[in-house]
Structure 1
Amino acid sequence: MSLSATDVSRIARLARLHMDESEIAAVQGQLNGIFGLIEAMQAVDTTGVAPMSHPQDVSLRLRDDVVSESDRRAAYQAVAPSVENGLYLVPKVIE
């Protein structure tokens, strides 16, 4: 796939970018280079290759999911300027 100068100018207009002809030509070359790289990668035969979640064979060390702190909601809401039904009330900022 390759983009024409018209395609690049249309993409620039949709992205609200102002580009002159020299910039359009430069971006066209860069985008076509990216598309060429994608086509080369898609041409590689990957049958029989299992998808990987990480490029290295690592596993995360996970800790046990246990409660480590007590519930202090009442203490925190006691010093809040305005609370109702366990929720913090804030001033309206959008009219």
Structure 2
Amino acid sequence: MQERPEIDIDKLAMLARIHLTEEEKAAFAGQVSDILGFFQKLQEVDVEGIEPMAHPFDVAGPLREDVPGSPWEPSRALKNAPASRTDQIVVPKVVEDA
């Protein structure tokens, strides 16, 4: 088995935007190292001749024919909107004035 890489737990914490105590860093470093070790074990598995798959079973979603229909009336389209004005959905302002 390959040697496990050294874990930069400070960088991982920074990327995850979390603050870790020294005790948590020590605990998480060991856990992350174990997880990477499991991935290294998977690299050793012989997968010659095995087709890649996203799901162990054949999965097909039920699809309907894409047929254009008549457009909704604005009142129907806005029925569940929390607020509307002149046939448009009113939303909170998200852009600050410059």
TM more than 0.5: yes
1:81 pairs with 75, 82, 85, which one? 85
Give how far 1:76 is off: 5.8
Structure 2 distance, partners of 1:76, 1:19, is 50
Q: 1:20 to 1:56 in 2, by over 3 A?
A: same
Q: More displaced, 7-16 or 25-34?
A: 7-16
Distance 1:35 1:64, change over 3 A: same
Distance change >3 Å, CA 92–CA 9, structure 1 → 2: closer
1:31-70 aligned at under 5 Å gives the runs 31-67=32-68, 69-70=69-70
Structure 1 pair 61–89 and aligned structure 2 pair: CA distance change class (3 A): closer
Do the aligned residues in 2 keep the contact of 1:82 with 1:90 (CA within 8 Å)? Answer: no
Alignment CA distance shift 1:92-1:40 (3 Å): closer
5+ unaligned residues in a row in structure 1: which ranges? none
Q: Over aligned residue pairs, what C-alpha RMSD do you find? A: 2.9
Aligned to 2:80: none
Q: How many Å apart are 1:41 and its aligned residue? A: 0.9
Cα distance in 1, alignment partners of residues 56 and 75 from structure 2: 46
User: Residue deviations 1:19-59, cap 9 Å, x none?
Assistant: 22211111011101110111111111112111123211233
Structure index of larger Rg:
1
Q: Which structure's residues are more often helix, by fraction?
A: 1
